[in-house]
Structure 1
């Protein structure tokens, strides 16, 4: 799992295999997770993908250990 900064208000979330599974966006003083998936022809599908159940989850800070524990439970 990796959090990759895109710009000051957006960070991409990559799963343990390196797949882009969503973005964190800075909204109203908190980080809000936006899940993404990909359609059959590779089109981006907002609100879909393996972390759909975590769409709109909020965090006060982007802590990789906390996110890993909540999003990628073994």
Structure 2
């Protein structure tokens, strides 16, 4: 996964994080004064797997703001 991610507003404190193909890979949630990435994946049977998916290693990464370019750079680095 090396293409930019996009953010889709869910509510005032949550954005869905989508990969370049539009697949849901996590959430960006405002927790206090920071935004934390919460990875999401799905099991083989299609159930949601919190903390799973292709960005599991970045689960709980902190961001200052919900900016798609910054989130992409942080989550996709390395």
Normalised to the residue count of structure 1, the TM-score between the two structures is 0.91
What's the counterpart of residue 15 of structure 1? 19
Structure 1 gap ranges (5+): none
What's the counterpart of residue 46 of structure 1? 50
1:60 equivalent in alignment to 2:37: no
Structure 2 gap ranges (5+): none
Task: Write out the 4+ residue segments of structure 1 that deviate beyond 6 Å after TM superposition.
Answer: none
What's the counterpart of residue 4 of structure 1? 8
Looking at structure 1, the residues matched to 13 and 67 of structure 2 have their Cα atoms a distance apart, in angstroms, of 15
Question: RMSD value over aligned CA atoms?
Answer: 1.3
1:31 equivalent in alignment to 2:35: yes
Tell me the CA shift for residue 70 of structure 1. 2.1
**CA shift digits 1:2-40 (9 cap, x unpaired):** 100000111100011111000011101111110000001
Whose RCO is larger (CA < 8 A, sep 6+)? 2
